[in-house]
Amino acid sequence: MKDVAVVGVGITEFGEKWNSSFREIFLNAGIQALEDAGVKGEDIDEAYIGNMSAGRFIAQEHVSALIADYAGLSEMNVPATRVEAACASGGLALRQGFLSVASGVQDTVVVGGVEKMTDVQSEQSVEILAAASDREWEAFYGATFPGLYALIANRHIHKYGTTRDQIAQVAVKNHYNATMNPKAQFQNKITKEMVKNATKVADPLTLFDSSPITDGAAAVVLVPAEKAHQYTDNPVYITGSGQASDTISIHDRNDITTIESTKAAAQTAYKMANKDQSDIDVAEVHDCFTIAEILAIEDLGFCEKGKGGKMVEEGITELDGKLPINPSGGLKACGHPVGATGIKQAVEITNHLRGEAGERQVEADVGLCHNVGGSGGTATVHILSREEQK
């Protein structure tokens, strides 16, 4: 397996883009990534697209062909593949693109993620997202994702003494980070009181514990590490990639406060990169709900199981802390266009490793991206580094 370099990144503004179509949103990010890399369409060997549910949001399947066509790639008959694992669709696309280049199958691969979620009513989008759970054994009985993550939150509180304030602090931190991210959906500060007193969604979670419904796209261009300097003086390397599954339903797990797919994907990625959790300087993790960020930092090994709330409380995960988590604002404040999120994380980490993250820049040589599908049926972990793996 070769090391793989990210030589171009692109990302749209995240938010409610009622005046832009699905294809326009994607192309905006894709063109940015190609221009950033100095790559032309005719140089692209393959495309992977992460998308959860264009079928249900905009009645469009076969989005890989749609995108290849409107990007001009179908003129060269470039193969384009959509991958899907709910909210981890972007992470899957990144892994397939990584494998394609790392294994020597292709040289220049564009990887994108996109979702257009605001063309349906809010209650419809909750129903559409519920398709990431087990329809027959969760959704049919009324379980929605806020409900499932609320069960997890209550169990975490019960088992580990995690406090409501610690959970709320995740949202406060992520909103603060997003004030410095011009692409973020919510660029406003909030307080713990605002989180706790917001409209209850599923006890103990409120509206401000929840990631929003978002339109947006992100894209990266990948090439073999040895060719990176043909494109950029400032390449970033993907040195580890892991993907794993867990039960789709939380009721089939031994412990609903642990997401085994995150742990397994992280172990694969750490091993491939020859790194461990102590080497990570910055991470973008999957905070679809505040409690999910606490699970993530535990399951990725950044602290002991049960100590995630305390780690947040102590400020370790803040922008100026020892291990900044979600400098972009995370899913909570940057926004969560589900298919795009996994790629947005890679764009954000690349920007930090390049020193191009603007006001929210952190000092980092090694970063991590963590993307989860549903309540953890799928997870991906990628490790990005300023240096090639030795």
- Active-site positions read 87, 336
Q: Min. distance of Cβ 115 from its own copies in angstroms? A: 12
What is the distance between the alpha carbons of residues 232 and 220, in angstroms, rounded to a whole number?
13
At a CB cut-off of 8 Å and minimum separation 6, what does 42 contact?
76
Q: Min. distance of Cβ 345 from its own copies in angstroms? A: 18
The CA dihedral of 56, 372, 349, 107, to the nearest 10 degrees, is: -70
Q: Does 105 bind its own copies (CB under 8 A)?
A: yes
What is the distance between the alpha carbons of residues 309 and 325, in angstroms, rounded to a whole number?
13
Q: Min. distance of Cβ 97 from its own copies in angstroms? A: 12
What is the distance between the alpha carbons of residues 385 and 390, in angstroms, rounded to a whole number?
11
| Pairing label, strands 216-224, 236-245 | unpaired
Is 195 or 338 the residue whose CB approaches its own copies more closely? 338
User: Residue holding tokens 């140089």?
Assistant: 43
Is 324 or 374 the residue whose CB approaches its own copies more closely? 374
Q: Does 248 bind its own copies (CB under 8 A)?
A: yes
CA atoms within 13 A on the CB side of 243: 16
At a CB cut-off of 8 Å and minimum separation 6, what does 264 contact?
242, 244, 246, 379
Binding segment toward its own copies, per CB under 8 A, in 112-120, 241-249, 301-309, 350-358: 241-249
Q: Does 386 bind its own copies (CB under 8 A)?
A: no
Q: Does 64 bind its own copies (CB under 8 A)?
A: yes
Q: Does 60 bind its own copies (CB under 8 A)?
A: yes
Site residues for its own copies, 162-191, by CB under 8 A, read none
Contact criterion met (CB below 8 Å) for 171 and 209 = yes
Q: Does 34 bind its own copies (CB under 8 A)?
A: no
On the 0-12 / 13-18 / 19+ scale of CB atoms within 10 A, 344 is buried
Is 19 or 199 the residue whose CB approaches its own copies more closely? 19
What is the distance between the alpha carbons of residues 176 and 82, in angstroms, rounded to a whole number?
34
What is the distance between the alpha carbons of residues 4 and 30, in angstroms, rounded to a whole number?
19
Out of 108, 125, 174, 261, the only residue in the binding site for its own copies (CB under 8 A) is 261
Is 264 or 334 the residue whose CB approaches its own copies more closely? 264
Q: Does 389 bind its own copies (CB under 8 A)?
A: no
Instruction: Indicate the SS3 state at residue 132.
Output: helix
Q: Does 18 bind its own copies (CB under 8 A)?
A: no
Is 3 or 134 the residue whose CB approaches its own copies more closely? 134
Q: Min. distance of Cβ 91 from its own copies in angstroms? A: 10
Out of 136, 142, 199, 390, the only residue in the binding site for its own copies (CB under 8 A) is 136
| Pairing label, strands 4-11, 366-373 | unpaired
Contact set with its own copies (CB under 8 A): 1, 21, 52-53, 55-56, 58-62, 64-66, 68-69, 73-74, 77-86, 92, 95-96, 99-100, 102-105, 127-128, 130-136, 139, 243-249, 252, 260-261, 264-265, 373-374, 377-378
